[in-house]
Amino acid sequence: MRVAQTEENQRVNAAGVSIAAPGAPIPDTQARARRKVLVIDDSSTIRRTAEIFLAQAGYQVMLAEDGFEALAKVGELHPDLVFCDILMPRLDGYQTCSLIKKSPRFHAIPVIMLSSRDGVFDRSRGRLVGAHDHLAKPFTREALLQAVQACLPVHADAAERALPA
């Protein structure tokens, strides 16, 4: 296998895939791969769209269909960011966000509300329960990734946002 040294202190294998040289800074995509994003939505289309966009950008993606499933995954998997639909059966997005934010272990995890409702009331109610931001559906790849980047700068350490178990 041919390995060449590049200007960015990266090695490139014969397939053209960049890999970090020993002691080299971690490229953005490798840093993102360690970042976990939980997408909560009762719509399989929205979950799948977000999963594709986020995975292509190099993030680890976890999915949940409702608030109860999401709370279990937050406790088990400790995501770095949560996208939460507002209108869901059983436990809506406002209740889910509120429970995450009231948890001493997980209160620092940023939550972005997802909704086709984009009014002042919905944005305000999201802020009242602790949401970091609001993203209108349907969303574009660029809007989704901008929201992630606003909450998860590439070089920020996820461990600073959640207390250890």
**In order along the chain (165 residues), what is the average pLDDT of each group of 10 residues?**
37 37 43 85 97 96 97 96 95 96 96 89 93 95 96 59 45
Tell me how crowded residue 75 is: count the other CB atoms within 10 A of its CB.
13
Burial grade of 126 (CB within 10 A; 0-12, 13-18, 19 or more): buried
Domains of the chain: 28-153 (3.40.50.2300)
Phi-psi region of 136 (alpha: psi -120 to 50; beta: other; left: phi over 0): beta
Q: What is the DSSP secondary structure assignment for residue 27, as one 8-state letter?
A: P
Q: What is residue 118's predicted lDDT score, i.e. its pLDDT? A: 77
Alpha carbons 50 and 46: distance in angstroms, whole number: 6
Q: What is residue 24's predicted lDDT score, i.e. its pLDDT? A: 35
Q: What is residue 122's predicted lDDT score, i.e. its pLDDT? A: 87
